[in-house]
């Protein structure tokens, strides 16, 4: 388990939240055996936050790796308010599913330096999602290209055939760019009702279909760990800070010297990035995305500096096997109105098996995701250097003044 400091102890954090947000706040930590996770209720994110409140939230995440601020009123808490809140954690980034790069969908093997074109609202996933259960499940209105709609509401055609879609691959968000994503967050809108299987789960365990969606060639123990996913629509996490802390000191020292080469496309030269990162707030060290191929067929595998491709795969798959051990795993239950924030440098995650072609609203899984780069900001609006935005934020996206200034 990750060593607990005074500033990450449950009693200290509970007292701090009561001081900053009022005695009605309830604080629960940890949520996982590894020490990962905290859940706070009684905080209304519709109102602007004071600098000291933002500081406490930032410090808490740096220790616990995942933080849920529960129970936002979805009649009042809009996606604009969600994006305003996200600006405290970093500069929100347009999601690749919401823009073209070099004339191709940015999720494809598109030109690395290509011109970024934001897709019109009607061409994004949210527009399709609203057609599946009209009048029963509707996305919260928004136009921001930073909002990813994570859902099993995939369009009218999918209603013709009910089926189960396997979970995704373990990854961190957009780690393949020179400046990776620091923080991501979900706002939960609709979550499925667990009821359909004999064990009261939402879905049955998927039938093993071989190595897909991973590359073939991994050993059976690693494949079993990869595919041990939750069955009630939870997001699966692994705590890479606790996994690093559990290693012998000699091995930690060796890993701290490792650099990995990440690429957007196979033909790119790529860039070297540290495998181990130090959180500047908590001084906690963690393995940052120690995965050989987190997006098979979409992004090229990672190479360890000084190793051949085969050696890189063997080395990183050994680390992946370590971080996916049960003692570092946590399956996060989403509840409507919850905002869940996670540190991408200190964790990996994946999506669960889901039902698609659904015909009932209590089968709907509808979450909104924002991801942020760069330094946090205690006050809004942010004061990011324009040259930095141009270099690191696709399309130079900035949250509009109408969002970041609302309520201030």
> Read out DSSP for 22-38?
-TT-EEE--SSTTS--E
Q: Rounded CA gap, 299 and 172, in Å?
A: 13
**What local confidence, expressed as pLDDT, does residue 111 receive?**
73
Residue 141, C-beta contacts closer than 8 angstroms, at least 6 positions apart: 78, 79
**What local confidence, expressed as pLDDT, does residue 297 receive?**
84
Question: How many angstroms separate the Cα of 4 from the Cα of each of 9, 56, 264?
Answer: 6, 17, 37
Q: Rounded CA gap, 290 and 336, in Å?
A: 32
Reported as a single tens digit per residue, the pLDDT across 98-119 is: 999 989 888 776 677 789 999 9
CB 274 within 8 A of CB 288: yes
Give the length of the chain. 408
Reported as a single tens digit per residue, the pLDDT across 176-233 is: 999 999 999 999 999 998 766 667 889 988 887 789 999 999 999 999 999 999 999 9
Domains annotated on the chain, with CATH? 6-395 (3.60.130.10)
The ranges of the chain with pLDDT < 70 are: 1-7, 109-110, 156-161, 195-198, 407-408
**What local confidence, expressed as pLDDT, does residue 5 receive?**
59
**DSSP of 99-139, one letter per residue?**
EEETTEETTSS--TTPPEEEPPGGGSHHHHHTTTSTTTS-P
Q: Which residue has the tokens 């979550």?
A: 191
pTM score over 0.75: yes
**What local confidence, expressed as pLDDT, does residue 1 receive?**
46
Residue 362, C-beta contacts closer than 8 angstroms, at least 6 positions apart: 192, 193, 195
């Amino acid at each position: 388990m990750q060593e607990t400091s005074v500033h990450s102890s449950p009693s200290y954090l509970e007292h701090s939240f009561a001081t900053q947000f009022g005695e009605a706040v309830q604080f629960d930590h940890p949520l996982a055996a590894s020490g990962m996770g905290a859940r706070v209720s009684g905080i209304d994110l519709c109102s602007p936050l004071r600098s000291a409140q933002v500081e406490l939230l930032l410090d808490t995440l740096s220790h616990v790796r995942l933080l849920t601020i529960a129970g936002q009123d979805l009649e009042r808490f809009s996606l604009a308010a969600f994006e305003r809140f996200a600006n405290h954690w970093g500069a929100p980034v347009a999601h690749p599913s919401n823009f073209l790069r070099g004339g191709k969908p940015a999720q494809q093997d598109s030109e690395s330096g290509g011109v970024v074109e934001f897709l019109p609202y009607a061409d994004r996933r949210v527009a399709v999602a609203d057609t599946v259960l009209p009048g029963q499940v509707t996305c919260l209105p928004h136009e921001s290209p930073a909002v990813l709609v994570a859902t099993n509401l995939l369009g009218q055609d999918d209603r013709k055939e009910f089926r189960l879609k396997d979970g995704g691959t373990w990854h961190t968000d957009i780690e393949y760019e020179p400046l990776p994503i620091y923080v991501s967050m979900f706002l939960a809108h609709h979550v499925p009702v667990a009821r359909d299987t004999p064990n009261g789960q939402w879905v049955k365990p998927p039938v093993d279909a071989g190595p897909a969606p991973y590359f073939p060639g991994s050993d059976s123990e690693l494949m079993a760990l990869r595919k041990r996913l939750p069955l009630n629509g939870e997001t699966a996490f692994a705590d890479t800070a606790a996994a690093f802390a559990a290693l012998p000191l000699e091995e930690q020292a060796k890993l701290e010297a490792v650099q990995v080469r990440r690429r957007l496309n196979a033909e790119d030269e790529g860039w070297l990035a540290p495998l181990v990162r130090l959180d500047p707030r908590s001084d906690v060290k963690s393995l940052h995305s120690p995965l050989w191929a987190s997006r098979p067929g979409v992004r090229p595998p990672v190479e360890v500096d000084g190793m051949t491709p085969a050696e890189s795969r063997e080395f990183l798959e050994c680390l992946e096997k370590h971080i996916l051990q049960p003692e570092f795993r946590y399956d996060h239950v989403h509840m409507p109105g919850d905002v869940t924030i996670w540190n991408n440098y200190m964790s990996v995650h994946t999506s669960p098996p889901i039902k698609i072609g659904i015909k009932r609203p209590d089968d709907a899984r509808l979450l909104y995701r924002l991801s942020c780069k760069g330094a946090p900001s205690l006050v809004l609006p942010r004061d990011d250097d324009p040259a930095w935005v141009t270099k690191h934020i696709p399309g130079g996206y900035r949250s509009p003044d109408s969002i970041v200034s609302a309520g201030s």
